């Protein structure tokens, strides 16, 4: 019945593996884009280093109530090549491109038998392909296990499709107190899941925004990231430490199942433009850039809290929205924003009062 639009912005100063990027981000908070850009600028001239795994996704096929579960597992593994062949028959194009089903794994969860179909999805996110393959092989596997298949669906815990990034923020640029403060904040997140949830949210602020801009499934990315963080007890997706020069080093590792083909990434005009701006050549390159954005936004949030409190920069931009919502236009937006930030009274009622005051002054003139 309609659309809900988000502002499209471009983060700057991202240098990844020696290549400069302009990074489209779609979200309602301009402070997130500004923070990402500033954090990226502080890494210069070196920028970020990044890597990513091959685009491997997991399809799960569930069988419950299998009688001879160990025997069923053995028969499935013995028939691995036949299962792979059935799966790859579903999409000859992906196979021609060098992708497709590669392996079969079997897990036993109490009385359940779970088959993992391991698929190289190339430059796609992969959900449709993996779901199709999982459903196609289920009838054959059913003959091997003598049971009825349950769920046949992709897993968003893409632990075989990790992206990593690293950056160094020099002590001379951010200050020794900031280095210590960010490391202390990271240690807090390691010890406390209540803090860790917000710590990881800071990572996903940036990654989700890039995903939305490029037409990718940010809900799948959120699910995968938090599940990965919880594999060994809920942990931060980033880590910070002093390098041998005493500078602040930051690292990130998380699953990023994002594609440059398929879905709406090649049909939605905004996604098309965003990918053109990014100029990435593969899904793996996109994942690397997204990991860098996640690390940048996480660092920016920690630095803001350590140095000045999270609200100062955020409220400065928020004040503009409040002023505009109250009806301010042109130069009045900046005037109202400045007054409200100075007063620390950033509310709709205060914006209305100030706007009325300026209008009365204009009438007198």
Catalytically active residues are: 29, 201, 217, 314
> Both ends of the chain: CA-CA distance in Å?
47
Query: Residue 21 and residue 43: Cα distance in Å, rounded?
Result: 14
How distant, in Å, are the alpha carbons of 19, 297, 333 from that of 321? 34, 21, 9
Decide: helix, strand or coil at residue 20: strand
Q: Which of 2, 18, 3, 1 is nearest to 292 (CA)?
A: 18
Find the radius of gyration of the CA atoms of the chain: 25
Q: Among positive and negative, which fits the CA dihedral 177, 178, 183, 184?
A: positive
Say if residue 45 is preceded by a cis peptide, omega within 30 of 0. Answer: yes
Query: Are 295 and 253 a contacting pair, CB within 8 Å?
Result: no
H helices present in 97-217, as ranges: 127-145, 171-174, 176-191, 193-213
**Nearest partner of 285 among 259, 264, 265, judged by Cα:** 259
Q: CA–CA separation, 352 vs 274, rounded Å?
A: 37
CB atoms within 10 A of CB 77: 14
Integer Cα distance of 297 and 108 in angstroms: 39
- Strand bridging mode 162-169 / 238-242: unpaired
């Amino acid at each position: 019945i309609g659309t809900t639009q988000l502002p499209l912005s471009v983060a700057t100063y991202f240098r990844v593996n020696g290549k400069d990027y302009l990074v489209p981000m779609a979200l309602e908070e301009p402070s997130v884009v500004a923070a990402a850009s500033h954090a990226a600028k502080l890494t210069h001239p070196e920028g970020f280093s990044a890597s990513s795994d091959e685009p491997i996704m997991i399809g799960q096929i569930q069988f419950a109530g299998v009688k001879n579960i160990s025997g069923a597992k053995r028969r499935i593994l013995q028939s691995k090549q036949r299962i792979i062949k059935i799966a790859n028959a579903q999409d000859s194009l992906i196979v021609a491109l060098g992708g497709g089903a590669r392996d079969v794994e079997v897990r036993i969860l109490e009385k359940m038998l779970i088959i993992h179909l391991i698929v190289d999805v190339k430059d796609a996110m992969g959900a449709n392909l993996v779901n199709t393959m999982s459903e196609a092989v289920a009838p054959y596997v059913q003959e091997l296990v003598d049971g009825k298949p349950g769920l046949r669906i992709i897993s968003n815990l893409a632990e075989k499709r990790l992206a990593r990034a690293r950056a160094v923020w020099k002590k001379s640029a951010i200050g020794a107190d900031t280095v210590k403060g960010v490391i202390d904040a990271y240690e807090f997140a390691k010890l406390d899941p209540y803090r860790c949830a917000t710590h990881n949210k800071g990572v996903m602020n940036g990654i989700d925004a890039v995903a939305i801009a490029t037409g990718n499934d940010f809900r799948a990315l959120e699910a995968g990231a938090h599940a990965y963080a919880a594999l060994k007890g809920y942990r931060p997706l980033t880590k910070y430490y002093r390098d041998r020069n005493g500078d602040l080093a930051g690292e990130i590792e998380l699953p990023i199942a994002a594609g440059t083909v398929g879905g709406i990434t090649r049909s939605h005009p905004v996604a098309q433009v965003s990918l053109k701006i990014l100029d990435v050549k593969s899904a793996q390159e996109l994942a690397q850039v997204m990991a860098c954005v996640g690390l940048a936004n996480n660092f920016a949030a920690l630095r803001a809290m350590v140095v000045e409190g999270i609200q100062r920069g955020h409220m400065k931009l928020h004040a503009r929205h409040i002023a505009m919502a109250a009806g301010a236009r042109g130069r009045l937006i900046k005037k109202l924003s400045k007054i409200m930030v100075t007063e620390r009274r950033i509310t709709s009622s205060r914006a209305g009062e100030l706007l009325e005051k300026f209008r009365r002054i204009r009438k007198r003139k």
